[in-house]
Structure 1
């Protein structure tokens, strides 16, 4: 008996087989984008290019919008309408998709984009979600590499086959589920972006600029000038060697992390006799990426590459967490950049002897502790929100695997 063409998970009340259709059977037409120059956004007429579509959310990015630099009456055929789905047809973004939303306003689509007009008999959200599946990504990978320049034309997009419910109501329910999930993910990401922006603004205000003796805002109990010290006065390099322990890495965004948590190949040396020991609370930095903020306060005991620098702080004058925040500020990373040795950014290097001669401004230990508590509270919120975002993305991935074929 032939196996029924149905997904692993379904909404109640639907039992019919699904059917496999190429996009050509789901679309009224495929057409190429408009090839005219752009001008400053006029506040009404949007000119959507590949770069205006976010790589992750597949939503319209409002930041750098432009308008078509031509008579709009002559390009009415290129104005997007409900049920329009766009595909990137060439370059590194090939395969990127965007489902036009009326809420995005009046929009025209530019060259290097292909429009698929989805037939009203099919649910647009269901069709769009098929462009976010592993099956679609595999199609893009294979099809785009048929020529020297990565690209997919309209005929090739039209040949992509999806397995779709015969019932429009089933399509609509699945599409609606993903529509709400996408909105939740977007909202969650916007909350994270808000707290990241808040954190960045606070750091700019609670640490002094290079020429100032005090920050722009302070707790009311503190009014003494911050003290300028050389880093060698408040830190001490540690070079204890060990081949035993958890392998750690220093990253730009997340500080010190377990190497096993990184989604990349382990390129560490088999002979770890020269690796440096790191204790909880130590600060380590990547000597070649310190100017980019590749440093962190370690939450783990372990070992790091001998290319890294490890040091401790003098606890009677300095809170190590405070220093961890301080050396990532724009003012300090700029100092690290101009003090690094090397001819190009690929070879810039900041070893401890040079690092230790750089000046840093610090307040009293009590004020440092206040500032640490403030920043850590924000970081905890960001961490919690990020975990929630990952959960939502995993939930969507699960449904993509179970509700689609």
Structure 2
């Protein structure tokens, strides 16, 4: 007896929908397809018009929520160049540089030659966009590590899309994902707003040669004092700078490196561990809670404060500022080194033609303007609270992104 074919249904469905899903090629769900083209950039009659011309960089990597054109062409370009007028509510699919990017375009547009656009869809356009997004992300992951730079129009149109026969089910699925995307977008705007606030405070809350900051807490009026870093830390010097790879192990003592220092914080995006014997040899250079570390070469000048989690850590190729003379020094300096003025001063000190680096001896003589202890505490606490809020916001966006990924996996076949 022949085995019945397996039903095409997703793992998770909305209540009330029981019909099978249908599988068809992308070529069969679009009434029209459009390629793209780039008008001659030397012809001024083609550019600075009012018709959107989209390139891959105008689409975000991780979202299909929209597109923000940065270039516009003229009607003349549409008539006599390779650019084509594509009707609104078409799906733009990146086929070369940036494979995996997909967007539903709500306005008439044109594209570079790196796109294939599908128009006049026979299924819900928003559902189709999410489904194609999932298909192209999988394609992009398969292309990674190969010499292939893109995917042909024929191969895209031969891709199979599986969709519910019920138009209502298509709308339910796409509406849920559109809402999640909307929430992610709002949270990302909030994150950018918080980062702008932090950037503004970093530029205005630290004094320069005038000895007074632009923005100040009420009740503080005295001019700031210039001091060298060697006068506020008991020890400033290099962490281990030799080859450490022979001592790497799969599990052991976490080894703090420059890759772990970014945006004023320590991250574990890249982890290296060293064996106990090598760790013990660095016992006189271990970092403790409240110390400050600075990246010495590469992205010179990035700093982070050693928290309780990293107490007694060994470090590699970092400048270590150890044993601060009061509690809020390292937090204060960590934020100070994130402002533009401080970064420029460090760049002046950096040496080397290929890999720029800064010397611990130069940083020991590095001068900073300090307020009194109480004002330093106020500044540090404000910026710490703001940074904590930014971190929470980033975590919220990560959780929403994971939710979206889960829904794409469970609601689609």
Give the alignment's TM-score, normalised by structure 2: 0.84
Cross-structure match for 2:182 = 183
**SS at structure 2 position matched to 1:194:** helix
Cross-structure match for 2:99 = 94
One of 392, 398, 402 as aligned partner of 2:400: 392
Cross-structure match for 1:326 = 336
C-alpha distance in 2 between matches for 1:78 and 1:248: 53
CA RMSD of aligned residues (A): 2.8
Contact 1:144 1:152 in 2 (8 A): no
Deviation at 1:18, TM superposition (A): 1.1
Q: 1:88 to 1:16 in 2, by over 3 A?
A: same
C-alpha distance in 2 between matches for 1:333 and 1:369: 22
Contact 2:67 2:105 in 1 (8 A): no
C-alpha distance in 2 between matches for 1:26 and 1:114: 14
Q: After superposing the two structures, state which structure 1 stretch, 300-309 or 24-33, moved more.
A: 300-309
* 1:120-269 → structure 2 map (5 Å cutoff): 121-133=122-134, 135-142=135-142, 148=147, 150-209=149-208, 211-237=209-235, 245-249=253-257, 250-253=260-263, 255-257=265-267, 261-262=268-269, 264=270, 266-269=271-274
Q: 1:184 to 1:198 in 2, by over 3 A?
A: same
1:28-59 residue CA offsets vs partner (Å, 9 max, x unmatched): 122211321467755x4322111111222345
Contact 1:83 1:100 in 2 (8 A): yes
1:228-249 residue CA offsets vs partner (Å, 9 max, x unmatched): 11111112336799x9744444
Structure 2, gaps ≥5 residues long: 241-246
One of 351, 354, 359 as aligned partner of 1:351: 359
Contact 2:26 2:156 in 1 (8 A): yes
1:67-90 residue CA offsets vs partner (Å, 9 max, x unmatched): 114526627983343330111222
Cross-structure match for 1:21 = 24
C-alpha distance in 2 between matches for 1:185 and 1:179: 10
**SS at structure 1 position matched to 2:53:** strand
**Are 1:117 and 2:115 matched, yes or no?**
no
Deviation at 1:315, TM superposition (A): 3.0
Deviation at 1:349, TM superposition (A): 2.1
**Are 1:335 and 2:336 matched, yes or no?**
no
One of 55, 61, 73 as aligned partner of 2:61: 55
Deviation at 1:144, TM superposition (A): 8.5
Q: After superposing the two structures, state which structure 1 stretch, 298-307 or 371-380, moved more.
A: 298-307
C-alpha distance in 2 between matches for 1:285 and 1:143: 37
Q: After superposing the two structures, state which structure 1 stretch, 15-24 or 64-73, moved more.
A: 64-73
C-alpha distance in 2 between matches for 1:287 and 1:111: 43
C-alpha distance in 1 between matches for 2:232 and 2:196: 30
C-alpha distance in 2 between matches for 1:41 and 1:386: 37
* 1:255-404 → structure 2 map (5 Å cutoff): 255-257=265-267, 261-262=268-269, 264=270, 266-270=271-275, 271-275=278-282, 276-289=285-298, 291=300, 293-299=301-307, 300=309, 301-312=311-322, 314-316=324-326, 319-344=329-354, 346=355, 348-404=356-412
Deviation at 1:137, TM superposition (A): 2.5
C-alpha distance in 2 between matches for 1:296 and 1:176: 42
**SS at structure 2 position matched to 1:45:** strand
C-alpha distance in 1 between matches for 2:314 and 2:346: 21
